[in-house]
Amino acid sequence: MTLQSYIASLKGKRVAVVGLGVSNRPLLQLLLDGGCDVTVRDRGDRTKLGEELAARLESAGCTLRLGEGYLDDLDEDVIFRTPGLHPFTPQLAAAKERGAVLTSEMEAFFAVCPCRIIAVTGSDGKTTTTTIISRLLEEQGYTVHLGGNIGTPLLDKADRMAPEDWAVLELSSFQLHSMDCRPHVAVITNVSPNHLDVHPSYEDYQAAKKQIFLHQREEDLLVLNADNDITRSFASQARGRLRMFSRRTEPSEGVFLRDGVIYRARNGTAEKLMDASGILLPGLHNAENYMAAFAATADWVSDEVCRRVAGSFPGVAHRLEMIRELRGVTYCNDSIASSPTRTIAGLRALTKKPILIAGGYDKHIPFDDLGDEICLRVKELFLTGFTADKIRRAVENSRYYDPEKLRIHQLEDFTGTVLAASAAAGEGDLVLLSPACASFDKFRNFEERGNTFRRIVMEME
């Protein structure tokens, strides 16, 4: 199916676009240009949407249902939901029960994409892994289209893609939930408790992750983390070929780490790919990200390209990003760390104990393990945000907690927290923003939080 035929198939049906975020705006324009009967439903009111945009959409024939009650009387034939709106939302569930088609911009892209797709999901590391995969393919000479939960929306670009290209997608549990998709290569970096403020259960979260491979075919490839109990259990449900990556075991098909060396194994025979010390990005978790990417691209990317990219790729913004050094103090932005496991991975990647800034929006994830890691790996702790009390209790209840060795500070204001952490730092110290929580208590997203941290740090004199 082409993009044009897909849009044409929607003519004569009433279409709802729920949520006018970044990913849905190109979709909306495609629908309007195709002459479709479209209603935009958005939680924001007309003022938030903007009077100019609202008037332009109405003049193009679009009906607007905005503000409180935007999902009332949801009776359209086809409903494109925004990723952040769970399909279990009562109005969506009722519409589907009535026979409406519940879909998304990303599901539409899978239907019309003319090229091969590599899709990556996981609780941690998916953005870095997705970016590494795209770098590897680009360095090998392929044309790559990076999108999904990273980069730009791709649906409106599908008609300009060639069969020999690659689409490399990062997919969140929100995007995958209830979505039929068939990537040629599916990668799951790991699964740990996350987004339990939205998913009704941990089992539901795991089920969403599995959607990335449940519709694959015999010729497709699934890459799993052998060291993660949940992802390892997915292996028995693989529909196609299976590769594992591991730093603890030696899979016969896949990539593994042994004595500081990364090996690539095929048909039970392992060959050295590179020394792990050749990876520019610090930390074992980044070695795992590279092993996942190496396993996913082994059929198309040479060993030499793997080594070249690993030795030169500086990483993605907001992921252990070194901002600056001022008066002997280094400032590191790990705002992407929106879960305890992600902050733990960052702490383990560092070679010195940091002054840690943590806390944020409550996703109802336990902080017990994080409390232990903070006691063992942090020099001084600064807490802010809705979860400050919870993290503090986890630290103080840890069997490793020693109040003489770990001072804890709790502040309301984010800027004040950063400045206080800076004031506590001396020459040779590292101030690390790694919140272990989502950003929505004070920021729109982790990027805004990281950019705010960067701005504060860069304005210091």
DSSP class per residue in 338-398? -SHHHHHHHHHH-SS--EEEE--B------HHHHHHHHHH-SEEEE-STTHHHHHHHHHTS
Q: Is 169 within the bounds of a domain?
A: yes
pLDDT in tens, 247-279: 999 999 999 999 999 999 998 899 999 999 999
Could you say which of 310, 337, 361 is where a domain stops? 310
pLDDT at 194: 61
CATH code, domain with 203: 3.40.1190.10
Question: What burial letters (b/e) apply to 215-229, b meaning 16+ CB within 10 Å?
Answer: ebeeebbbbbbbbbe
- Domain identity same for 169 and 225: yes
pTM of the complete model:
0.79
pLDDT at 86: 83
Q: Is 151 within the bounds of a domain?
A: yes
- Environment class of 151 (CB within 10 Å of its CB; exposed 0-12, middle 13-18, buried 19+): middle
- Report the SS3 class of residue 186: strand
Q: Parallel, antiparallel, or unpaired for β 329-333 and 14-18? A: unpaired
CATH code, domain with 364: 3.90.190.20
Amino acid at 116: R
- Report the SS3 class of residue 311: coil
Distance of CA 360 to the CA centre of its chain: 17
- Domain identity same for 300 and 371: no
pLDDT at 78: 98
CATH code, domain with 86: 3.40.50.720
| Partner residues linked to 325 by β-bridges | 330
d(CA 419, CA 427): 16
- Report the SS3 class of residue 82: coil
d(CA 114, CA 159): 8
- Domain identity same for 301 and 362: no
Q: Is 315 within the bounds of a domain?
A: no
Q: Which of the residues in the chain have pLDDT under 50? A: none
DSSP state, residue 100: P
d(CA 410, CA 417): 8
Q: Decide if 41 contacts 17 (C-beta within 8 A).
A: yes
437-to-206, 302, 366 alpha-carbon distances in Å: 19, 38, 11
Q: Is 276 within the bounds of a domain?
A: yes
Nearest residue to 428 (alpha-carbon basis) of 357, 333, 351: 351
**Total domains present in the chain:** 3
Q: Decide if 189 contacts 120 (C-beta within 8 A).
A: yes
Q: Is 316 within the bounds of a domain?
A: no
pLDDT at 345: 86
Q: ∠ at Cα 21 (17, 24), nearest 5°?
A: 45
- Domain identity same for 96 and 115: no
pLDDT at 83: 82
- Average pLDDT of the chain is 94
pLDDT at 268: 86
Q: Angle of helix 126-140 relative to helix 303-310, nearest 10 degrees?
A: 130
Residues 6+ apart with CB under 8 A from 52: none
- Domain identity same for 294 and 160: yes
Could you say which of 103, 136, 157 is where a domain stops? 103
Alpha helices in 2-74 (DSSP H): 3-9, 24-33, 46-49, 51-59
Q: Is 327 within the bounds of a domain?
A: yes
- Domain identity same for 80 and 118: no
pLDDT at 49: 87
- Domain identity same for 295 and 435: no
Q: Is 402 within the bounds of a domain?
A: yes
- Domain identity same for 204 and 325: no
Residue indicated by tokens 């599995």? 210
pLDDT in tens, 11-54: 999 999 999 988 899 999 999 999 999 999 999 999 988 899 99
- Domain identity same for 197 and 292: yes
- Domain identity same for 84 and 166: no
- Domain identity same for 279 and 331: no
- Domain identity same for 303 and 325: no
pLDDT at 404: 95
Could you say which of 288, 310, 332 is where a domain stops? 310
pLDDT at 193: 74
Domain that holds residue 427: 321-458
Sheet strands side by side (includes 254-258): 144-148, 166-170, 116-121, 185-188, 221-225, 241-246, 254-258, 261-266, 269-275
Q: Is 405 within the bounds of a domain?
A: yes
pLDDT at 285: 87
pLDDT at 239: 95
pLDDT at 198: 63
